Amino acid sequence: MGDQPLVRWDWIASHLVDPIGTRLLEHLQLSITPILLGLLLALPLGVACVRWRALYPPVFTTVNILYAIPSIALFFLLLPYTSFSAWTAIIPLTVYTLAVLVPNVVDGLNQVPDHVRQAAEAMGFGPLRRLVQVELPVALPVVIAGLRVAAVATISMVSVASLVGLGGLGQLILTEGFRRQFPTPIVVGIVLSVALAFLVDGLLVLLQRWWTPWTPRPARAGGRNRRSAAASTAAASSAADRPAAPEGRRRRA
């Protein structure tokens, strides 16, 4: 890339709306859609896996195998069917989120303390009402923890879709930068991609604080009056305070 400066501010200024702004929006759309679709699929799948235990091992293996397929391969596999529409990126990315979200929904539901479940039954909750009003809300911190991992992973993975002509900020990096041997768009693409991941993660943290005001805050840990409460909510709190997906943070490129 020769003797050019790493960042040419004048280029940034003159291309702020197009392509930078457009690519950013595209990136956002290509990552948010799979996350939401993934959640929409993972919730019933996870609930079914808890309801019918035998279902979980095959489902778990399947989502893991799908996760193991390189994203670039999946993009090319889908090209003949979806051509250059956004679905070519959205479908594989949705499938990948399942590898994090399904186990988190299952773990979240399994962490609902037995006495809470039994109390709900004894109070006269029907099965569906118990799921919606007790079990899912109590599982929420663990589900959101999974959502955070899935969101960050998806935002970073969207760029790869640029190899098949999609991919938001990836286009900035590949087409504008790499192919033209011009570093500024590459830097802009990386910085914005990372910033977007931080922003979405931060929003999810705020969302969690707002939705689950009942989870113990770490600052109050170790205080008095927590004896039995600590046992029942410790699992939820540790999962809520840091994203702890069962599969860890696997990086994909």
C-beta of 84 vs 211, nearer to other proteins: 211
C-beta of 180 vs 217, nearer to other proteins: 217
C-beta of 87 vs 125, nearer to other proteins: 125
Q: Which two tokens stand for residue 251?
A: 């990086």
Q: Which amino acid is at 183?
A: P
C-beta of 199 vs 229, nearer to other proteins: 229
C-beta of 90 vs 120, nearer to other proteins: 120
**CA atoms of 158 and 106, how far apart (whole Å):** 26
Note whether 141 and 208 are within 8 A (CB): yes
CA-only gyration radius of the chain, Å: 21
In whole angstroms, the minimum distance from the beta carbon of 107 to other proteins comes to 16
Compute how many other C-beta atoms are within 10 angstroms of the C-beta atom of residue 214. 11
In whole angstroms, the minimum distance from the beta carbon of 96 to other proteins comes to 30
In whole angstroms, the minimum distance from the beta carbon of 227 to other proteins comes to 5
C-beta of 198 vs 211, nearer to other proteins: 211
Backbone angles phi, psi at 249, to 5 degrees: -95, 95
Note whether 65 and 5 are within 8 A (CB): no
In whole angstroms, the minimum distance from the beta carbon of 64 to other proteins comes to 30
In whole angstroms, the minimum distance from the beta carbon of 128 to other proteins comes to 11
**CA atoms of 24 and 241, how far apart (whole Å):** 29
Q: Which two tokens stand for residue 207?
A: 């969302």
In whole angstroms, the minimum distance from the beta carbon of 104 to other proteins comes to 17
8-state DSSP, 159: G
Buried/exposed code over 165-190 (b: 16+ C-beta within 10 A; e: otherwise): bbbbbbbbbbbbbbeeeebbbbbbbe
Q: Which two tokens stand for residue 177?
A: 């930068």
**CA atoms of 101 and 246, how far apart (whole Å):** 9
C-beta of 85 vs 118, nearer to other proteins: 118
In whole angstroms, the minimum distance from the beta carbon of 217 to other proteins comes to 10
Interacting residues with other proteins (CB under 8 A): 113, 115-116, 118-126, 129, 134, 137-138, 140, 212-216, 224-230, 232-233, 236
